[in-house]
Structure 1
Amino acid sequence: MFTALGQTEEATTSIRDAKMSWFQKTFTLPPRSRGSYLITDEVLSQLPEIRNYKVGMLNLFVQHTSCALSLNENWDEDVRADMSDALDRIAPADRKGNLYRHSAEGEDDMPAHIKSALVGASVNIPISNGRLATGTWQGIWYLEFRTSRHTRKVVATIQGEKA
């Protein structure tokens, strides 16, 4: 909430008079095996509609339980490798079959569910003047936790004021 009286009043007027718009699209990420992938450019390619919004929010939601979406470092690839290594220490593969009860889909299945729950299935990113309002070093990550390649669907929802 704004602290200055004038700003609060102005923001309220702007929201009341604005023509709010919703947009939703589902797109598919190409098959990838275990790893952390920077997908910012893929998202922008799939969602040229972002350019039509003066102000708003983009929600990305992956429709699966053994992968995740995150915002993180977009420059140094070591960060992606370190993130994968750290998550493997938290939820290791069950090679001996004694760590997890759920093992129906293999030794990497339950650890993938744990990692997905910890990282999350969605990200929210502000839109400002037709662009994602990420920080200089922020990028959109897709984290795949299964060893075999999987195709994943992402639901993108934009809510905001069109330009």
Structure 2
Amino acid sequence: MPASQSTTISPWTTAFLLAGFILAFFPSVFNTIVWAPYNYVFPPASAPRYPTSVLCQAPNICGPPTTMSWFQKSLTLPSKSRGSYLITEHITSSLPELGTYKTGLLHLFIQHTSCALSLNENWDEDVRADMSDTLDRIVPEDKKRTGLYRHDAEGSDDMPAHVKSALVGASVTIPITEGRLATGTWQGIWYLEFRSGRHSRKVVATIQGEKM
């Protein structure tokens, strides 16, 4: 009876067969395995497709990328009766965040319908007095209740205050340059109160721009 022969496959043959199988069905895995030792010794540099340190815009102007930032805060104005008041200092002292912006815009919005914000003369207080008097002449108060206005349930000064508010406006926008408001030499921020009694008013300040 002939002796039985045992056939053994060498480890090298197994390795070659396995490598061929991986190469045939999983070429990307084979490539990763083959290059793994080299990549371990010499890791590839991960360079971004587009450099992040320089931003280029047409026409061929390059510079560092800018980061736009938004900030919002609610301010309370000092209670005042009818008149026009310069509030530039109050606004800037309430917004130290202005100093962190290289360039941008400050938007101020007053949340009421019987007062207003404006940009005007910041030196001679007579201008503010004249402004209030002029608005009173343009939109007179119906103290004798002659029927000049339909809306008079809140007092004779209420409807004229709404009209003045619509004429002057509820907001102002001021540029920011190097952490400071870029107002003109004689420009200031005005708060115009149109009601006779003292009222507490709130202003929403929004800053948008590039940080220092």
Same fold (TM over 0.5): yes
Indicate the residue corresponding to 2:48 in structure 1. Answer: none
CA distance in 1 between counterparts of 2:71 and 2:62 reads 23
The Cα offsets for residues 19-50 of structure 1, whole Å up to 9 and x where unpaired, read as: 00000000111211001000000001110000
Q: CA deviation at 1:13?
A: 6.1
| Residue equivalent to 2:207 | 158
* Match of residue 127, structure 1, among 161, 176, 181: 176
Instruction: Quote the RMSD (CA, aligned, Å).
Output: 1.6
Structure 1 alignment gaps of length 5 or more:
1-7
Give the secondary-structure state (helix, strand or coil) at the position aligned to 2:103.
Answer: strand
Counterparts of 2:71 and 2:153, CA distance in 1: 37
**What is aligned with 1:110?**
159
How many residues align structurally? 154
Q: Secondary structure at the match of 1:87?
A: helix
Question: Which of these two proteins has the greater Rg computed from alpha carbons?
Answer: 2
Equivalent residue runs for 1:130-149 within 5 Å:
130-149=179-198
Superposition misfits of 4+ residues, deviation over 3 angstroms: none
Which secondary structure state, in structure 1, belongs to the residue aligned with residue 150 of structure 2?
Answer: coil
- Cα distance in 2 for partners of 1:87, 1:52 equals 38
User: How far apart are residue 18 of structure 1 and its match?
Assistant: 1.1
Residue matched to 1:55? 103
The question of 1:93 aligning with 2:141 is answered: yes
Structure 2: gaps (5+ residues)? 1-56
C-alpha deviation, 1:145, in angstroms: 0.2
More strand by share: 1
Of structures 1 and 2, the one with the larger relative CO (CA 8 A, separation 6+) is 1
Taking structure 2 as the reference length, the TM-score comes to: 0.70
1:110 counterpart letter in structure 2:
M
C-alpha distance in structure 2 between counterparts of 1:67 and 1:34, whole Å = 9
1:89-110 Cα shifts (integer Å, max 9, x gaps): 1111111222100011100000
Once the two structures are aligned, what percentage of the paired residues are identical? 73
Q: What is the one-letter code of the residue matched to 2:193?
A: E
